[in-house]
Amino acid sequence: MDPVSFLSDLIRVPSPSGDEGPAAEVLAEALLGLGWERSWIDPAGNVLASRGDGLSRVALFGHLDTVPGGPEPMIRGDQVWGRGSVDAKGPLCAMAVAGSRVELPPGVGLVLVAAVGEEVDSRGARHALASGQLEGVRGVVVGEPTGTDGVALSYRGRVLLRLSDSDGGAHRSCDSGPLTRVLMGASRVVSHVSHLEGFSSAVVHMEGEESGGRSARVTLDLRVPVGASALALAEELVPMASGVRVELLEVVEPHSVGAGDPVVSCLRGSIRGVGRNPRLLAKLGTCDFNVLAPLGVPMGVYGPGDPRLDHSDQERLDVGDYLRSIEVLSDAIPRIVSRVCNPQGR
């Protein structure tokens, strides 16, 4: 199958978080056409594919879901447009194509995971961990947009915090009410985080009602740098919002690997092999890379695409960069297998 058509066809099937099913069915069938020996959809909705039969494996871990919206899917000149072209169907398809082409030594397996829910709660990655689907994995390439010559070493952690309050109603002249209390609590949290180096905050949802039964709700997305603790931040912030209900919706710790990590080293060598100078990146977001950290294996993040176009109405992927990333991965995967896998599976 032509790699560009494979990507374009997948982009044309919308897959916003929570509604990945139709795209999962298309992908599972297409992977068999690419040359993966087995493909299936697990109970969480993840698409998995495998090659080889070894107990010692390398995982190519991407995600199928996207944020809603985006430009109309199309191929215009040398660019593939559409939601997910960059984040992250482009990186996912590059791994799928490369993984279908490489030769594997006896006793070594390769598994591709197209996870659901990465954009909201990483439920697909959490299921893959909890269900044992990654048993025997000795190294992981996480597919996210880093640019053809970039390899990400770190992602910040995340605290998702919801503040809410309600009452049966009162005159605002004697009781400022839930809206004021929630907004003041959120203001104290945001102000505190703004003075912490390397941290950031954003209001991602806000709603309220001032008539009748009054209510208010604000959701804050707080990012935590490498070297700090997301859980410690959460515990520090809860008292600052006293007087309203506080819910910790998600706590994800930051994660990083070194420049000498075996997966990172192999990716860097393969980038040099296509005539580029590899760049090492520290990303400001949070992704399944963080969730997979408990595996405790070598891991790096790589994939085509300009991350500045993530989630935008200009999301598009350069075909040349996409094909070059497939070349990089086709060279890197055997290198990674050689570095991290024991063919006997021990």
N- to C-terminal Cα separation, the chain: 35
* Weakest-pLDDT range from 1-15, 109-123, 238-252: 238-252
Do residues 145 and 310 lie in contact, with contact meaning Cβ atoms separated by under 8 Å?
yes
Helix (H, G, I), strand (E, B) or coil at 196: coil
- Average per-residue pLDDT for the chain: 95
Q: Which one, of 127, 218, 137, 226, lies nearest residue 181 by Cα? A: 218
Give me the pLDDT at residue 172, please. Answer: 57
- The tens digit of pLDDT for each residue in 88-135 reads 999 999 999 999 999 999 999 999 999 999 999 999 999 999 999 999
Q: Which residues pair with 162 in a beta bridge?
A: 219, 247
User: What percent of the chain lies above the pLDDT cut of 70?
Assistant: 96
| Domain spans in the chain, listed from the N-terminal domain onward | 3-155+254-340, 157-252
Closest CA to 7 of 308, 325, 319, 337: 319
Q: Please tell me which residue, 53 or 296, carries the higher pLDDT value.
A: 296
Which residues, in sequence order, are bridge partners of residue 40? 48
Please determine, for residue 83, whether its predicted confidence score (pLDDT) is greater than 70: yes
Q: Which residues are 137's β-sheet partners?
A: 57
Identify the pLDDT of residue 241.
Answer: 87
| Rounded mean pLDDT, 66-89 | 98
Instruction: Give 67-83 as a DSSP string.
Output: -S--SPPEEETTEEEST
319 within 8 A of 4, measured Cβ to Cβ: yes
∠ CA 284-293-280, nearest 5°, is 45
pLDDT at 242 over 70: yes
Distance CA 215, CA 196 (A): 30
Question: Which backbone phi and psi does 108 adopt, to 5 degrees?
Answer: -125, 140
Q: Are 87 and 11 in contact (CB under 8 A)?
A: no
Which range, 59-63, 174-178, 237-241, has the best average confidence (pLDDT)?
59-63
Q: What is the pTM of this model?
A: 0.94
Region 31-35 average pLDDT: 97
Task: Give the pLDDT score at 170.
Answer: 53
What pLDDT shows up at residue 155? 99
CATH fold of 3-155+254-340, please? Aminopeptidase (3.40.630)
> From start to end of the chain, where are the E strands?
38-41, 47-51, 56-63, 74-76, 79-81, 108-115, 137-143, 147-155, 157-166, 200-209, 215-224, 245-252, 255-256, 279-283, 299-303, 316-318
Q: Which CATH number fits domain 157-252: 3.30.9.10, 3.30.70.360, 3.40.50.720, 3.90.1150.10?
A: 3.30.70.360
Element (H, E) at 266: helix 262-273
